[in-house]
Amino acid sequence: MAEGLLRHLAGDLFEVRSAGSKPAGYVHPKAIAVMAELGIDIGEHTSKSLELFLNGSVDVVVTVCGNANDACPIFPGEVTRHHWGFEDPAHAEGSDEEVLEVFRAIRDQIKNTFQAYADGYRDAVSYQSNNQ
């Protein structure tokens, strides 16, 4: 969900790539469903390992799940890191509707955080361009 939301909200600002410290091997169907409710299609996204990106150019690393900040490796060069820990909705229990509600709640928390991040970044870029 994080990749889809950040691409949607700030794909014009960043090249967004996503990976996990312990990839599940699939994108959870309920994540796909709740993102579709926002008109964001993540049905073709895949679960990838961090190993794929260790040798590439990375400027910013954002971790979003509990221990992901601790499990994230060191990337070479100067890297800005942000950690916004959200509950992993894949661990939710209850009826299908109750689990969907957890996915929606986490989706909305991520969306609000990423929207604020993107807005702040746009403001900083705009301020820099106007004051040069």
Tell me, what CATH number does 62's domain have?
3.40.50.2300
More confident residue, 4 or 128: 4
Provide the pLDDT for residue 70: 59
pTM: 0.85
As for how many domains the chain has, the answer is: 1
Which element (helix H / strand E) includes 118?
helix 96-130
Could you report the per-residue pLDDT of 58-84, keeping only the tens digit for each? Answer: 788 887 876 555 556 666 667 788 888
Domain that holds residue 118: 2-130
Q: Does residue 77 come out as left (phi exceeding 0), alpha (psi in the -120 to 50 range) or beta?
A: left
Residue type, 77: G
pLDDT score recorded for residue 24: 82
Give the closest residue to 89 by CA, choosing from 79, 101, 77, 102. Answer: 102
Alpha carbon 114 to chain centroid, angstroms: 8
